[in-house]
Structure 1
Amino acid sequence: MAPPAPDPISSASSSDLTLMDPEPMASETTPLIGNNNKSSDDVEDGTAARPSPGKPLPKMQVYLLCFNKAMEPIAFFAIIPFIAQMVQRNGNLPYSDVGFYSGLIESLFSLTQMFVLYSWGYLADTVGRKPVLLWSLVGMTVATFFFTVSTSIWQMIVFRCVAGVFSGSGLVIRTMLSDHTTAETQAVAFSWFAFANNMGIFLGPLIGGALADPAAQFPGLFGGIKLLEDYPYILVGAAITACSVFSIVLSVFYLEETLEPESTTTSAGVSAPARPQRLSTFELLKAPGVGIVIWVYTHVMFLAFAFTAILPVLLFTPIDLGGVGFSSSRNSVWMAIQGASQAMWLVVAFPMLQRRLGTKGSLASCVAVYPLFFAGYVAMNTLLRIGTESSVAVFWVVAFIVAFIGPGVSMAFTAIQLALNDVSPNPHVMGTLNALAMTAASAIRSFVPGVSTVIYAIGVKYQILWGHLVWAILIPIAMSLSIFVRWLPEDKQSHKLPQNEDEE
Structure 2
Amino acid sequence: MADPSTDAAHSERTPLLAGERDASPPAIATGTHSSSSTTLADQEADIDPPSPSTEDEDRPLPLWQMFLLCFARLVEPVAFFSIFPFVSQMIHESGSVPDTDVGFWSGWIESSFSLTQTVFMLFWGRASDKYGRKPVLIASLSGVAIASVLFGISKSVWQMIILRSLAGVFAGTIVTVRTMITENSTPKTQARAFSFFAFAGNLGIFMGPLIGGALSKPAEQWPMVFGWSTFLKQYPYLLPCIVSGGLAAVAAVINLIWLKETRSLQKHHHAIVIQPPSVREVLSAPGVIPVLCVFEYALLLGVAFTAVCPVFFWTPIELGGYGWEAPQISLYLAAAGISQAIWLLFVFPPLVNRIGTGTLLRICGWCWPIGFVLLPAMNLLLRHQQWTAFWVIMPFIVIPSAGVSMAFTGVQLALNDISPNPLAAGTLNGIALSLQSAVRAVAPAMYTTLYAWGVKEGILWGQLGFVILTITSLGFIVLLRWLPEKAEGRPKKKVDVEETQGGEEH
Task: Name the TM-score, length of structure 1 as normaliser.
Answer: 0.72
Q: How many angstroms apart in 2 are the aligned matches of 1:226 and 1:326?
A: 28
**Structure 1 residues 42 and 480 mapped into 2: Cα distance closer, same or farther (>3 Å)?**
farther
The answer for the alignment partner of 1:175 in structure 2 is 179
Q: 1:95 to 1:369 in 2, by over 3 A?
A: closer
Q: Is the 8 A contact 1:123 1:132 kept in 2?
A: yes
Instruction: Give me the whole-angstrom Cα distance separating, in 2, the residues matched to 1:456 and 1:101.
Output: 12
Match of 1:123 in 2: 127
Matched, 1:282 2:280: yes
Aligned equivalent of 2:38: none
Tell me which residue corresponds to 1:299: 297
CA distance in 1, matches of 2:288, 2:411: 12
1:209-229 Cα deviation digits (max 9, x unpaired): 333343444444444545444
Pick one of 98, 101, 104 that aligns with 2:108. Answer: 104
Please list, as runs of the form range in 1=range in 2, the aligned pairs for 1:20-419 lying within 5 A after superposition.
27-29=16-18, 32-34=20-22, 40=27, 48-50=49-51, 56-88=60-92, 90-92=94-96, 98-261=102-265, 263-264=267-268, 273=271, 276-286=274-284, 290-309=288-307, 338-354=336-352, 361-375=356-370, 378=373, 403-419=398-414
Shift of 1:301: 0.7
- State the 1:298 CA deviation: 0.5
The amino acid of 2:17's aligned partner reads E
Measured in 2, the distance between the counterparts of 1:316 and 1:449 equals: 16
CA distance in 2 between partners of 1:404 and 1:455 (Å): 27
Contact preservation (8 Å) 1:120, 1:435: no
Contact 2:217–2:236 under 8 Å retained in 1: yes
Report if aligned partners of 2:415, 2:487 keep a CA contact under 8 Å in 1: no
Once the two structures are superposed, residues 299-344 of structure 1 have per-residue CA deviations (whole angstroms, 9 ceiling, x without a partner) of 2112222443456678899999999x89889987765654433211
- Give the equivalent residue in structure 2 for 1:267: none
For 2:231 and 2:376, locate their aligned partners in 1 and report how far apart those are by CA, in whole Å: 49
Q: Is the 8 A contact 1:298 1:441 kept in 2?
A: yes
Aligned AA (1:179): E
Deviation at 1:418, TM superposition (A): 3.8
8 Å contact from structure 1 (residues 121, 431) kept in 2: no
Q: Cα RMSD over matched residues? A: 4.9
Contact 1:215 1:225 in 2 (8 A): yes
Q: State the one-letter code of the partner of 1:28.
A: L
**Letter in structure 1 aligned against 2:438:** A
SS of 1:82 mapped into structure 2: helix
Q: 1:453 to 1:109 in 2, by over 3 A?
A: closer
Q: SS in structure 2 opposite 1:259?
A: coil
2:275 is paired with a residue of what secondary structure? coil
Aligned counterpart, 2:35: none
The AA in structure 2 aligned to 1:299 is Y
Q: CA deviation at 1:191?
A: 3.6
8 Å Cα contact 1:129/1:172 also seen in 2: yes
| Cα distance, 1:163 vs structure 2 | 1.0
Q: Quote how far apart the aligned CAs of 1:68 are.
A: 0.8
- Provide the secondary structure at the position in 1 that maps to 2:483: helix
Q: Where does structure 2 lack aligned partners over 5 or more consecutive residues?
A: 1-13, 31-42, 382-389
Deviation at 1:116, TM superposition (A): 1.9
Matches of 1:384 and 1:79, distance apart in 2: 24
Matched to 2:366, the amino acid is P
C-alpha distance in 1, partners of 2:423/2:142?
24
Give deviations 1:123-169, integer Å, cap 9, x for gaps: 33443322222221111111112222344544433222111111111
Task: State how 1:451-470 maps to structure 2 within 5 Å.
Answer: 451-452=446-447, 469-470=467-468
Instruction: Indicate which of 431, 439, 448 corresponds to 2:443.
Output: 448
Stretch of structure 1 that moved more, 479-488 or 427-436? 427-436
| CA–CA separation in structure 2 for the residues paired with 1:490 and 1:115 | 32
Q: Is the 2:210–2:334 Cα contact (8 Å) retained in structure 1?
A: no
User: How many residues of Structure 1 are paired with residues of Structure 2 in the alignment?
Assistant: 464
Classify 1:352/1:253 alpha carbon distance in 2 versus 1 (closer, same or farther; 3 Å). farther
- Distance, in Å, in 2 between the alignment partners of 1:200 and 1:99 is 24
Q: Is the 8 A contact 1:32 1:49 kept in 2?
A: no
1:354-381 residue CA offsets vs partner (Å, 9 max, x unmatched): 5566xxx235423334214533665799
Which deviates more, 197-206 or 419-428?
A: 419-428
Do 2:368 and 2:473's aligned partners in 1 also have CA atoms closer than 8 Å?
no
What CA distance in whole angstroms lies between the structure 1 residues aligned with 2:316 and 2:272? 63
In the alignment, is the contact (CA less than 8 A) between 2:111 and 2:444 conserved in 1?
A: no
Distance 1:399-1:126 versus aligned 2 partners, 3 A rule: same
Amino acid at match of 1:40: A
Q: Is the deviation greater in 419-428 or in 149-158?
A: 419-428
CA distance in 1, matches of 2:393, 2:330: 18
**C-alpha spacing 1:128/1:370, structure 2 compared with 1 (3 Å):** same
* CA distance in structure 2 between the aligned counterparts of 1:469 and 1:253, rounded to whole angstroms: 51
* Counterpart-to-counterpart distance in 2, 1:409 and 1:156: 31
What is the rounded CA distance, in whole Å, between the counterparts of 1:318 and 1:231 in structure 2? 25
Specify the SS of the correspondent of 1:201: helix
Q: Which amino acid aligns with 2:344?
A: L
SS of aligned partner of 2:85: coil
Match of 1:438? 433
Answer whether contact 1:33 1:427 (CA < 8 A) is retained: no
SS at match of 1:81: helix
**Structure 1 counterpart SS, 2:171:** coil
